[in-house]
Amino acid sequence: MFERLNHVGVATPSVARAREHYARLFGPSAVGASFDLPAQGVRVCFVDAPNTQIELIEPLGDASPIAAFLDRNPAGGQHHLCFEVADLDAAIRDAASMGARPLGEPRLGAHGTRVVFLHPREMGGVLVELMEASRAGH
């Protein structure tokens, strides 16, 4: 059901500060520009690691789900793992048949593709994002 690990989501109180940190680790050219996703209440930035990406996520306000995460983890930290799937609707059905609960309906994610999150309670304590992705470009 799950395919390639697309990215690791890392919540941070400041994408700007996190960008500086990751630029030191992976080099400045690995760190993309930050951009806002107002519908999701977050500012994001992708860092290209050699074998995946790191998604830096900052809340845009107190209503953001990332704000609640940072309330519990003020320094930030790993927020989720994102796996690619060929067919998101089929993956949701498969996950549900194994007892995993989707958190809401699919929506457009930061990569411009459909995504859905699976509740960590049924995923070994890890918030998992499923991202519909074509194999083109990989």
Question: Are the C-beta atoms of residues 133 and 84 closer than 8 Å to each other?
Answer: yes
Domain assignment present for residue 49? The answer is yes
pLDDT-based confidence at residue 137 (cuts at 50, 70, 90): very low
- Indicate whether 137 belongs to any domain: no
107 lies in some domain: yes
Strands lying side by side in the sheet with 102-108: 35-37, 42-48, 53-59, 5-11, 77-85, 128-132, 114-118, 102-108
Instruction: Decide if 118 is inside a domain.
Output: yes
Give the per-residue pLDDT at 138. 40
State the pLDDT confidence band at 133, using cuts at 50, 70 and 90. confident
pLDDT tens-digit profile of 2-28?
A: 999 999 999 999 999 999 999 999 999
- Is 136's pLDDT higher than 80? no
Q: Is residue 65, in this structure, part of any structural domain at all?
A: yes
Per-residue pLDDT, averaged over 48-63, amounts to: 96
Q: Is residue 138 part of a domain?
A: no
User: If you average pLDDT over residues 20-46, what whole number do you get?
Assistant: 96
Question: How many domains does one find in the chain?
Answer: 1
Active site residue 132: no
Grade residue 1 by pLDDT with cuts at 50, 70 and 90: confident
CATH of the domain at 101: 3.10.180.10
Q: Among residues 55, 58, 129, 132, which one is catalytic? A: 129
Please give the share of the chain, as a percent, with pLDDT higher than 90.
Answer: 90
Residue 125 lies in a domain: yes
In a domain? residue 105: yes
Residue 135 pLDDT > 60, yes or no? no
Give backbone dihedrals phi and psi of 87, rounded to 5 degrees, phi first. -135, 105
In terms of residue numbers, what domain contains 23? 5-132
